Structure 1
């Protein structure tokens, strides 16, 4: 049984990760902000068996103190400003939470490892956004780091810090996660906006979906699959970087078409309006990952197809 510390445990990925580890018998500790405590309505992560600790990830002393107190075998740093769009409005906060805070976690893990004589294993949740507008497709772990958004720049800093601490002997992993979705995705994300609005239109409660760039392409996967990849990476003998992706990209318009079809609406185009206000200042056009290393070394592979992911989200929204 491992003792595990998860930052961002109340989020989409943190919740699925905690549930997987609890089911396996691990002792799970999670970091939450006071305003992000899970509500007992059954709709979110089931964290009753986890030990929750309230602190802000940017409070370095508090986070370091918690890591020393918990004395974990594994740390998964998943907390951060997860919205690329929001990072344009709050670039400094994004840098603090998604970038600099990772250095605090890595330093605390390294110091703890030195004191106890065995390594704490750390997984940093990186992002495909670190590649910016890549010149190569698909992207693997060797693709140039060239972010084009504040979110991507913050994640790139954290990714580089993983390499720094790995060089000091820490068992540090960078999981380069491509877009991954589930019914727990917050409504502020375009995918959930699409599925919720499709459900509302199907019920006659809305008549329009307003979006930005319909041509942007992303490699969408299933969130529980991606947290499983992180666990496999943490427990591999040698730490490394791992792209976690399906290897297939789809456009935003394809996501819309799949969502509306699942909701029973065939002519989706007449319900969709493009508003330039929703187009990001700079946006990666086509992102698709090559997860060969994760497949070959970790025995990992996706379990849900793109249509199944969209269907799961739409079905949840139709039932709410």
Structure 2
């Protein structure tokens, strides 16, 4: 076989493989097929690994014989086999991600009472697919290493000392393994989910990312707090959306004793009925305390669909009540009383009255 013929066969095999992948990609992105929920994510995620696999497979099938490439034939075939293993692994991982993307997109759109269960399933699916991808990648890397004869020879010796190696590896990877098991524990015990509102170390935020080793928490001011998963398994934290995203907000006011509580209660209810953030469920206005400096403490409670809405609603209620008291009952604003006659005035006045 001449060199020109061998190269023509090689080029034809590669082009044929790439052509097949391109035809499949165009079919998936065509208008009739793209309406199916699984077609767009497969076309988006699997395109690049499929082209790499087609190139490696076509090159392997059309590889010229030894008399054309000479002593480099074995090395080229070995390199192509490594590319095939890597591209197959890449394709499998991306296909699994594409299949789960459909479910995750559907779960993200669920609101209301089913939102808690949807976030739990979403967290578990994301952790499972990451775990599966890691396992597949480890198996693929092992397969690639064992294509080298020297590694296969070393592997027999490693199997003989697997017990000692396992103990050493377990001690070295103790921290990593504890994080992995803690991540699985959090996900399947339903203690922590994606989009949960939590308070950790005095910081309030939402769970943005939950992996097998770390948790990313998006704080209210757009900062990111990154903590190891084992922290949540070993320390206590507040989860405001454990069973439901609904939150009750609190507003405290300190006013004079002359404040008309019943009128304020009526005004609070009128304001809440017209506010879009109130979920039309819980509200109350109560006198909860009498302070030593001669003021009374009013506590207004109101419920909202989630913590962000509750915070905005609390601010609006506080602002409205302060403005209402200032405009309609300015005499009930907080005041400090001072005895101008001194501490002994009462006993002196009592003695004069007796005389």
TM-score bracket for the superposition, by shorter chain length: under 0.3
**TM-score using structure 2 length:** 0.21
More helix by share: 2
Quick one: higher RCO (CA 8 Å, sep 6+), 1 or 2? 1
Larger Rg: 1 or 2? Answer: 2
